[in-house]
Chains A and B, each alone.
Chain A
């Protein structure tokens, strides 16, 4: 069967081969239009096929979704799945989402407008299973069949699907083929949201069946709840890291700053994605220099219960975990008595703190939370720091993280800053609230099991890479000119790091990435450049 002929009903088909595989990916712009410019997919190992669900598209994203070994296990898994369906559709057990879910569940007119908006569908060469309504429609069919059985009415209403183990396994994988970017919802004439449907399906698997990708659950929210951070950084390790940062800052600026920790009653509590300390320490370092130079009354928090890690992976797959983390983070801030929280350059935590967990605590316990971007703009506008934009005299483009742009409306501050500090700034197309996801959204940036990385680099991040290459078309092949993708979000940076490496764009074309605060620092008149690709060996710190 050709991939184009696959229907939502086929999720229940018993096959040993994938329902749909990549035939022709969306072409990339020059110089990536030539053969040999991108690595091929890695072959699927037989052992993976035996133990996991490789029968959707040949990728395995959910490393805990194991094939049952016996008939009894199969039945038990289906039973649990259906019990999860019941709970998802219940006001009692899915209180926080029942209204948006039911509207999206009930009203789809199947006009297919959403497909054109989806970067995964378009990048894959329009693979049927990645069509946003494919997943939602399959789920509607499952629910209709489950609720109305084999009756004429069920078939009349679209409940024409088998609910068997393949249906359940494939749906579990399919829930992780959506970045939850919500671009499709912007184009829906009825305002319905296929991203929400994908997230709600993930909840059945996690909250009822205990199945979620390890990087999100076991080494994500569980580790964060146990140790304080999904990176595993404990309070002591965090304090050590801060000392290292102070040393680095001294080496770079020549000044010894004391990074304020647990300062009671500070005006601002700055919270970072703890991944920054490990992978991109220059980011918290840049924030510290900027805030100190601007003379802000700020602090960071070392509270054991996740006061120093702003991530909340729960918002992608599990309401209970999201609530536990969100409430604990807000309590940590409250304990410190700060006046406001400022979220650093992390997209999903912007949304987690300011939107997703906004209604999880009583109003008096809800300390106001702000984005770092209006604050950084305020600092620059105040003139409290000196800026020399000519230090950033290379092409810069901006990636808009979906979480705080499309889902929160923070669009202009970062652009205003770039206008002040980057003379060669150019937009991607499309941009702002109509941007494309980096391909790492919804947890994909940290999911690397089996061959899932290939799915991300070649399919879900493909549209973003396309946009980057397009934005730098005038200089892409001139290796002497550095090009900078400003991606003020930890997860987006993770996805960009991977695609630039995968497509060898840094090595071949001098394309780099990092956040916005690093670019501000680079424009500040310190002796050495702050951005690593502008430094020579003796400038290293």
Chain B
């Protein structure tokens, strides 16, 4: 099916381009007022033995801070980022009841990324003449089983997590009140993709179809799976492709927003000092003249001006 090959290309490229566009939209926004929030994990040094990132301190605790070099720990920042990315730490610490299902779904995504990578590797291997199957042994067989384990566990985690969150939102009176139709739709969409993948899996328990798809994509040839149920696979590919195109246009693109909120807003605490990059950015930002203005009476007349007096 040539359509599926082309559609898959479009979906994958679309996901990347639309996500990048989203990031570009945020990146090109003007420099904003500082709005950091502590703890900031890169803040190192400190009074006593404890490092600042542990208790939420900052360089402002330092006497004559502006005369001293900043103490920054990029390692601490990376560790904090990894904890958040891999485990959704803030939700775990503050709201464990929500964390289990939310984490199941997100872990499922990560596992399916790994499954995708393994399927890709398997496809490349097969194209260059390696055997990837259950019987010949060696790396091909290991990859074969790893792909299987990742595929089935990832799909189940995503399915359970997404439908679990729908049910939880339906059942919990407070969550129900704040859930829009689109929020349900988003979760059900993810659930549908996971279930359609599981339907394909029933006829292809070792996910050969993943390698078949990548082989087709790598050789620019039609997706023609040898084992899987063609209709079920077509439905799965179309749903997944649509989801990939849809995600960057919704708040499910929080993988983009989260980068900006942490790195550009709440962890961004570089002061505006002479001779610094931040200082130069500020100078440039101050040159902007707004085209419109706000309308309240006090806006147009500065109370200190002669006109006001």
Enumerate chain A interface residues (CB-CB to B < 8 A): 4, 7-8, 80, 83-84, 87, 90-93, 95-100, 102-104, 106-113, 115-117, 131, 133, 137, 155-158, 182, 185-193, 196, 206-210, 217, 222, 225-226, 305, 320-321, 324, 328, 340, 354-356, 358-364, 366, 368, 370-371, 373-375, 377-378, 404-413, 416, 432-434
- Are B302 and A225 in touch, CB under 8 angstroms? yes
- The answer to whether B272 touches A103, judged by C-beta atoms less than 8 angstroms apart, is no
**Known contacts being A98-B29, A98-B32, A363-B283, is A433 close to B56, with CB within 8 Å?**
yes
B88 and A99 within 8 A (CB): no
B55 touches A432 (CB 8 A): yes
Report which of A112, A356, A408 forms a contact with B178, defined as CB distance below 8 A: A112
Contact partners of B258 in chain A: CB under 8 A:
107, 190-191
Complex CA distance for A353 and B6, rounded to whole angstroms? 57
* Other-chain contact of B260, A103, A157, A193, A217 (Cβ < 8 Å): A103
- A364–B280 Cα distance when bound, in Å, is 10
Q: Say yes or no: A185 contacts B37, CB within 8 Å.
A: yes
Assuming A359-B272, A409-B56, A412-B47, is B94 touching A96 (CB within 8 A)? no
* Given A83-B295, A92-B290, A363-B279: A155 touches B181 (CB 8 Å cut-off): yes
Residue pair B61, A208 in contact (C-beta under 8 Å): no
A189 to B99, CA, bound (A): 10
Separation in Å of the A93 CB from the closest CB of chain B? Answer: 5
For the complex, what is the distance from the CA of A110 to the CA of B183, rounded to whole Å? Answer: 9
Which of A116, A208, A324, A408 has its CB near the most chain B CB atoms (within 10 A)? A408
Q: Which of B26, B56, B59, B60 counts the most chain A CB atoms within 10 A?
A: B60
The answer to whether B299 and A116 have CB atoms under 8 Å apart is no
- Check if B286 is an interface residue, CB within 8 A of chain A: yes
Q: Smallest distance from the beta carbon of A469 to chain B beta carbons, Å?
A: 25
Residues on the B chain within 8 Å of A371, using CB: 60
- Contact check, A113 vs B38: say whether CB atoms are below 8 A apart: no
A96 and B294 contact, Cβ closer than 8 Å, known pairs A187-B94, A340-B66, A412-B61: no
Nearest-CB residue, chain A, relative to B271: A358
- Known contacts A109-B254, A210-B297; is A190 also within 8 Å of B34 by CB? no
B77 within 8 A of A: no
Chain A, residue nearest B275 (CB): A363
CA distance A210 to B294 in the complex (A): 10
Residue from the list A99, A108, A413 in contact with B47, Cβ < 8 A: A413
Q: List 15 A-B contacts (CB under 8 A).
A: A84-B294, A90-B292, A100-B35, A106-B257, A109-B254, A355-B35, A359-B33, A362-B286, A363-B272, A366-B272, A407-B38, A409-B38, A409-B52, A409-B57, A413-B61
Q: How far is the CA of A102 from the CA of B261 in the complex (A)?
A: 10
Pairwise interchain contact B26-A196, C-beta atoms closer than 8 A:
no
Known: A99-B29, A103-B265, A206-B296. A156 touches B181 (CB 8 A): yes
A412-B48, A432-B55 given; A113·B283 CB < 8 A: no
- Candidates B60, B179, B276, B282; contact of A362 at CB < 8 Å: B282
Within 8 A of A (CB), among B152-198: 173-175, 177-183, 185
- How far is the CB of B253 from the nearest CB of chain A, in Å? 8
- Report the Cα distance A373→B63, complex, angstroms: 8
In the complex, chain B residues whose CB is within 8 Å of the CB of A356: 33-34
B13 within 8 A of A: no
Q: Are B61 and A410 in contact (CB under 8 A)?
A: yes
Chain B residues within an 8 Å CB radius of A131: 174
A131–B174 alpha-carbon span in the complex (Å): 10
Separation of A412 and B40 alpha carbons in the complex (Å): 15
Given contacts A92-B290, A112-B175, contact A191 B265 (CB under 8 A): yes
B281 to chain A, nearest CB (A): 9
The A-contacting residues of B in range 38-60, CB under 8 angstroms, are: 38-40, 43, 46-48, 52, 55-60
- On chain A, the residues within 8 Å of B9 by CB distance are none
- B102 contacts the other chain (CB 8 A): yes
Contacts of A196 in B (CB 8 A): 35
Complex contact A378–B63 (CB within 8 A)? yes
Complex Cα spacing A374 to B272, Å: 20
- B60 contacts A305, C-beta separation under 8 Å: no
10 A-B pairs closest in CB distance: A409-B58, A363-B279, A433-B56, A158-B180, A210-B296, A191-B261, A368-B66, A207-B294, A113-B95, A225-B303
Q: Is the CB of B274 within 8 A of A363?
A: yes
* Complex contacts, A355 vs chain B, CB 8 Å: 33-36
Q: How far is the CA of A412 from the CA of B293 in the complex (A)?
A: 42
- Complex CA gap A533/B295 in Å reads 50
B175 → A minimal CB distance (Å): 6
Question: Which residue of A189, A210, A433 is within 8 Å of B298 (Cβ)?
Answer: A210
Q: Determine whether the beta carbon of B251 is less than 8 Å from that of A109.
A: yes
Question: A222 near B303 (CB under 8 angstroms)?
Answer: yes
Interface centre among B33, B88, B95 (most CB of A within 10 A): B33
> Closest CB of chain A to B60's CB: distance in Å?
5
A524 to B174, CA, bound (A): 55
Question: Does the CB pair B32–A187 fall under 8 Å?
Answer: no
Residues of chain A with a CB closer than 8 A to B36's CB: 355, 407-409
Q: What residues of A have a CB within 8 angstroms of the CB of B59 in the complex?
A: 409
B251 touches A363 (CB 8 A): no
Asked if B65 is an interface residue, CB under 8 A from chain A, the answer is yes
Across the interface, do A93 and B35 meet the contact criterion of CB distance under 8 Å? no
- B261-309 residues with Cβ-Cβ distance < 8 A to A are 261-262, 264-266, 269, 271-276, 278-280, 282-283, 285-286, 288, 290-299, 302-304, 308
Q: How far does the alpha carbon of A341 sit from the alpha carbon of B125 in the complex, in Å?
A: 66
Give the residues in chain A near B254, CB-CB below 8 Å.
Answer: 107, 109, 190
Across the interface, do B304 and A226 meet the contact criterion of CB distance under 8 Å?
yes
